[in-house]
Chain A
Amino acid sequence: EPEVTQTPSHQVTQMGQEVILRCVPISNHLYFYWYRQILGQKVEFLVSFYNNEISEKSEIFDDQFSVERPDGSNFTLKIRSTKLEDSAMYFCASSEAVPGSPLHFGNGTRLTVT
């Protein structure tokens, strides 16, 4: 069964550094998402992406965040200047359509900012 893959599984960075989290969505999916989860708690929406542009973003997704689909397969989340509070599990997801298709999640990237 096709799956969403995320790399790296764990990223440690120093405060103020830039990080790029990478994702390969399921190939025939059209909608891509980033969610984050702090300490195994609430799953928070960050951004959705369709047709090479942001469809919707949350208040969390401020100017330090950006997303990109640099080629036909990868989908990236960049955090320009990381803060301690950015430490979380970041999940990439994809879906065939909205709102009826379920999200398919990757295994997540655990980001630790020190």
Chain B
Amino acid sequence: AQTVTQSQPEMSVQEAETVTLSCTYDTSESDYYLFWYKQPPSRQMILVIRQEAYKQQNATENRFSVNFQKAAKSFSLKISDSQLGDAAMYFCALGTSGTYKYIFGTGTRLKVLA
């Protein structure tokens, strides 16, 4: 069975600072993909970043980057130069070969302090 765990229900960061959101996962599959989604108060789920398990290089998208530790089954999201608009719920998600579903963690609520 696949699982995704986000152990930080809530995090706070000062504007312009850097914050790291944690995610661990478990799967027995070798072919899988990991995602971070942002859910602002508007409720829409927005893709932040995607990582292929077969790639050693960590994905980056502007101020967002991941630290993918395959052996540890860890997939953390780093947000640099945090902005007020980054305040949202952040969900980690896992998609594996052999299944037709993506599993989501319980989310981390990020607050950005002015």
Contacts and interface: CB of A to CB of B under 8 A. Distances in A.
Interface of A: 31, 33, 35, 40-45, 48, 50, 55-56, 58, 89, 91, 93, 98-100, 102-108
Contact of B101 (A33, A41, A104, A108): A33
Interface in B92-114: 93, 95-97, 99-104, 106-107
Interface residues of B, number: 28
B21 to A, nearest CB: 16
B97 A102 contact: no
Contacts, number: 67
Contact of B100 (A40, A43, A50, A100): A50
Contacts of B35: 102-103
A61 B111 CA distance: 34
A85 B98 CA distance: 31
B95 A108 contact: no
A31 B45 contact: no
Contacts of A107: 42-44
A42 B99 contact: no
B101 A89 contact: no
B32 interface: yes
Nearest to B41: A40
12 contacts: A33-B102, A40-B39, A41-B107, A43-B91, A43-B104, A45-B104, A48-B100, A98-B100, A99-B96, A100-B95, A103-B102, A108-B44
A56 B99 contact: yes
Contacts of B52: 100
B106 A98 contact: no
A45 B39 CA distance: 16
Given A48-B100, A98-B99, A41 B106 contact: yes
A35 B39 CA distance: 14
Nearest to A3: B44
B101 A45 contact: yes
Contact of A48 (B44, B89, B97, B101): B101
B47 interface: yes
Contact of B102 (A45, A50, A106): A45
A8 to B, nearest CB: 14
